[in-house]
Amino acid sequence: MTRASGRRSRCPVVFALDLFGDRWTLLVIRDMVLKGAATYTEFLKAGEGISTNILADRLRRLEDQGIVTKHDDAEHGAKYRYRLTKKGLGLVAVLVEMIRWSARHQPSTPVSRTLRQRLDREPRKVVDEFVRRARASSR
């Protein structure tokens, strides 16, 4: 570990893995970007079966790292809504590339033919579209 940062090394891959290298963190971000999830309950209903304590931990970590922010839910006073920050929105391109790679190398990946074609022809436009959607769903 490097003393100043508490990280294993200064390698950028290690930095990313320290933050996202677990089973759940990128799925929480995925749900915000692709499904418009913004509340604790919406994340729990995502389908992969994340436990409540793991979800709470991942949301807290993402907030601590400046990837998401937590706000009071105007409609439900005791609940919170989570939003991706500018830093968090920067991860949309990573997710799109992961989807693109998976669609190319795992044919059974449930990605529509149209999206596969768009990912190959215009990945930047797909990223921009997902960023716009993520911003709109977090309002």
Tell me the per-residue pLDDT of 33-80, one tens digit each, with 9 for 90 and over: 989 999 999 999 988 899 999 999 999 999 999 999 999 888 877 789
At 139, is the pLDDT very low, low, confident or very high (cuts 50, 70, 90)?
low
- Confidence (pLDDT) at 55: 96
- What pTM, to 2 d.p., does this model score? 0.83
- Confidence (pLDDT) at 124: 93
Domains of the chain: which residue ranges?
Answer: 12-137
Q: Quick one: CATH architecture of 12-137? A: Orthogonal Bundle (1.10)
- Confidence (pLDDT) at 6: 64
- Spatial separation of the C-alpha atoms in residues 135 and 139, rounded to whole Å: 7
Contact criterion met (CB below 8 Å) for 19 and 59: no
